[in-house]
Amino acid sequence: AQRVTQPEKLLSVFKGAPVELKCNYSYSGSPELFWYVQYSRQRLQLLLRHISRESIKGFTADLNKGETSFHLKKPFAQEEDSAMYYCALGTGGFKTIFGAGTRLFVKA
Amino acid sequence: DTEVTQTPKHLVMGMTNKKSLKCEQHMGHRAMYWYKQKAKKPPELMFVYSYEKLSINESVPSRFSPECPNSSLLNLHLHALQPEDSALYLCASSQRAQGASQETQYFGPGTRLLVL
């Protein structure tokens, strides 16, 4: 079955603390993984994708095929990182499956 | 223009009405998508158009009828909807590059639909 699991609905951290948003996937083929973010009152937008191996706004994510994970990490959280984060799995043919999302709240 | 636009922003309709949602992009993208998002849930894929042809229909009820009249426009025609169809409807587009199977999607702000 094709599935994306984000185990935390809500993650609350203090400003300056490290943050890790977990994402696990289930897919028998070659996956393409994305992190999308939705800030308050803004549209859903791409944060990063595994194929580009970039660091965006200090966030990184590494695809671990052995653990079928694509966790999102940032060493020092900022208040402006507070948002809804969705992990998404591309299964080919332009079909995308979104995880349930994790709301990150960064406290001052 | 680097945005996906959607109209209307809000729509209230009765179960016997016929209405249409409109999505437009001028980024030269050749793949366009419709998603449905219920409150506190992730977006769920409904349809994908590739080069103006329907390529994915995720078993969506026929009361939802998509249309892609040209490479910049995507419509979703609504007829005889049910109250449970109330949701945020998101449109997205992507480049549809040769040989690609997955791409970054650019989302519109959505149309919030309420079916009474």
CB contact under 8 A, B105 and A46: yes
Chain A neighbors of B55, CB-CB under 8 A: 93-94
Chosen from B59, B102, B106, B107 to mutate, greatest number of chain A CBs within 10 A: B102
Q: How does the average pLDDT of chain A come out, rounded?
A: 93
- How many Å apart are CA B28 and CA B3, to the nearest integer? 11
Which of A49, A94, A101 is facing B48, going by the closest CB pair? Answer: A94
Position A8 scores a pLDDT of 96
- How many Å apart are CA A7 and CA A3, to the nearest integer? 12
Report DSSP letters for A27-68, one per residue. -SS--EEEEEEE-TTS--EEEEETTTT--BTTBEE--BTTTT
Percent of chain A with pLDDT over 90: 78
Q: B113 pLDDT exceeds 80?
A: yes
Which of B31, B42, B45 is facing A86, going by the closest CB pair? Answer: B42
What would the mean pLDDT of A37-61 be, rounded to a whole number? 90
What would the mean pLDDT of B45-59 be, rounded to a whole number? 93
Q: Which tokens in the block code for residue B36?
A: 């449905």
Q: B1 pLDDT exceeds 70?
A: no
Position A1 scores a pLDDT of 82
Instruction: For residue range A26-41, list pLDDT tens digits in order.
Output: 998 888 999 999 999 8
